[in-house]
Amino acid sequence: MKLLVIGATGATGKKIVNQALSQGHQVTALVRTAAKVTFAPSVGKAVGDVLDREGRAVATRDNATAICLIRRRRCALATLTDLLLGRMGRTPR
């Protein structure tokens, strides 16, 4: 399965990425800073901010599932709703 991990550079995110890789999934990490990415070469890197609609659209385009592991205060309900609607092929308002 193609997975997008938002918050992949955090402690939990790193564990999720490694576990997903060990189970044979294709993983893309959405990160704000490319320098923070220290994953295996097989992990795709998408540089952007989850709060930026365009960045989310690019990152989610080729992924079947998105896993959001960022702190609640950075990820407003509207942002998650936008992300989920985009994954379902609907246009966010």
pTM: 0.73
Range of the domain at 82: 2-87
For residue 92, what pLDDT is reported? 46
Q: Tell me the per-residue pLDDT of 4-33, one tens digit each, with 9 for 90 and over.
A: 888 888 889 999 999 999 999 999 998 888
Is 93 inside any structural domain? no
CA distance 12 to 38: 14
For the cut 90, the answer to whether the pLDDT of residue 36 exceeds it is: no
Is 13 inside any structural domain? yes
- At residue 67 the predicted structure's pLDDT band, cuts being 50, 70 and 90, is confident
CATH number of the domain to which 66 belongs: 3.40.50.720
Q: What average pLDDT is seen over the chain?
A: 77
Number of compact structural domains in the chain: 1
For residue 76, what pLDDT is reported? 54
